[in-house]
Amino acid sequence: MELVCPAGNLTSLKAAVDAGANAVYLGFRDATNARNFEGLNFSERDMHDGIGYAHARGCRAFLALNTYPQPAGWASWQQAVDRAAASGFDAVIAADIGVLDYAATQHPDLPLHLSVQGSATSYEALRFYHEQFGVRRAVLPRVLSLAQVQQVVASSPVEIEVFGFGSLCVMVEGRCLLSSYAAGKSPNTHGCCSPAASVEWKETPRGLETRLGGVLIDRVGPGEHAGYPTLCKGRYQVGDHTFYAIEEPTSLNTLDLLPRLAAAGVVAIKLEGRQRSPAYVRQVTTVWRAAIDACRRDPGAYRPLPEWQQVLGRVSEGQQTTLGAYSRPWQ
């Protein structure tokens, strides 16, 4: 299986490549990608240097063009596709049908991958994208059980990539409106969940308070872990209790499932985290490189090492990991 790793900047890209990534995915500094945070992503020069660094070491580079353009900004997405084709990217990861159609029509030799934001959860949907736009690979949403993944892979006309590690979201991929409720900008169109300009941190007598668009979403005491604020992972007062009412901070971790994913025919494991640090990228890539290599050598004897799990646990949201929707014993 191919290991596809996040690159939020040039330093992270190099960390991923040096730690054993088979492919890295990155984005431009604009709303065309779903990690459009201040200080992240690539200038033209860094993009050129990053692609060259990856290719020189046998690593592929994918461009994330995975947001949904609005009519007034359509030209920006067209230009992004053109830039991708001219820059030597090995594939474009897109979700919007218009973007896919433009890329397939104007740049037929540019490989297309369907983003997780496309929310394609059936082989019928994948067949549509393959027949209409020539999509070669699809990233499955993180809402399918392992049995459902196996069923999709068995009948899919395209390669299947799944998320193996990283942050989870309670929303259907590509359909989140919580951020726009509080901050006025949707991650699906502006590329940023919890835009930095809308985040406020304030020390109060009751603790460090976090607000998004003026909405109080968390309060932490001294020494308590405070992650980057999102509405879905905030703590709220419900009746007489204050707790993570929507979703607890936790990270997906599928190390235990590697042999079964490989046997199902999954071609790539994707790691989430373009918004995370280069140290995170290096640590997580190193663990997953070792795990995939061990699984390939002897699937029957494969067992995740405790030290691998310890590393992943330290960098997980809330210091917790889960199999997420993959584990549904009742199915």
Could you read off the pLDDT of 90-119 as tens digits, one per residue? 999 999 999 999 999 999 999 999 999 999
- Which of the given ranges, 190-199, 209-218, 290-299, 314-323, has the highest pLDDT on average? 290-299
Residues 269 and 21 sit within 8 Å (Cβ to Cβ): no
Q: What is the mean pLDDT of residues 154-173?
A: 88
Could you read off the pLDDT of 142-152 as tens digits, one per residue? 889 999 999 99
pLDDT at res. 172: 66
Instruction: Judge whether 178 lies within some domain.
Output: no
Residues 170 and 181 sit within 8 Å (Cβ to Cβ): no
pLDDT band at 291; cut points 50, 70, 90: very high
CATH number of the domain residue 147 falls in: 3.20.20.70
For the chain, give the percent of residues with pLDDT over 90. 64
Both 126 and 235 in one domain: the answer is no
Instruction: Judge whether 180 lies within some domain.
Output: no
* Domain end residue (candidates: 215, 243, 271): 243
User: Could you give the 3-state DSSP secondary structure of residue 255?
Assistant: helix
Number of domains in the chain: 2
Lowest mean per-residue pLDDT among 37-51, 189-203, 242-256: 189-203
Both 15 and 129 in one domain: the answer is yes
For residues 158, 292, 49, 272, the Cα torsion angle rounded to the nearest 10 degrees is 70
pLDDT at res. 296: 96
| Structural domain harbouring 291 | 2-168+250-326
Please state whether beta strands 268-271 and 159-167 pair in parallel, antiparallel, or not at all (unpaired): parallel
pLDDT at res. 173: 67
Indicate if the pLDDT at residue 127 is higher than 90.
yes
For residues 193, 319, 302, 123, the Cα torsion angle rounded to the nearest 10 degrees is -20
pLDDT at res. 197: 83
300 forms beta bridges with: none
pLDDT at res. 331: 63
Q: What is the mean pLDDT of residues 282-305?
A: 97
Residues 102 and 124 sit within 8 Å (Cβ to Cβ): no
DSSP single-letter state for residue 317: G
Indicate if the pLDDT at residue 44 is higher than 70.
yes
Indicate if the pLDDT at residue 330 is higher than 80.
no
- Which residues, 6 or more positions from 268, have their beta carbon under 8 angstroms from its beta carbon? 1, 2, 3, 4, 22, 23, 137, 159, 160, 161, 162
pLDDT at res. 241: 93
Both 216 and 78 in one domain: the answer is no
Both 115 and 235 in one domain: the answer is no
Both 255 and 235 in one domain: the answer is no
Instruction: Judge whether 181 lies within some domain.
Output: no
pLDDT at res. 162: 97
Could you read off the pLDDT of 251-269 as tens digits, one per residue? 899 999 999 999 999 999 9
How much is the pTM? 0.91
Both 237 and 254 in one domain: the answer is no
Lowest mean per-residue pLDDT among 12-16, 211-215, 276-280: 211-215
* Domain end residue (candidates: 211, 228, 243): 243
Could you read off the pLDDT of 211-258 as tens digits, one per residue? 988 889 899 888 777 777 888 888 888 999 998 888 888 889 999 999
Both 43 and 83 in one domain: the answer is yes
Both 42 and 24 in one domain: the answer is yes
Q: What is the mean pLDDT of residues 61-81?
A: 94
pLDDT at res. 256: 95
pLDDT at res. 233: 84
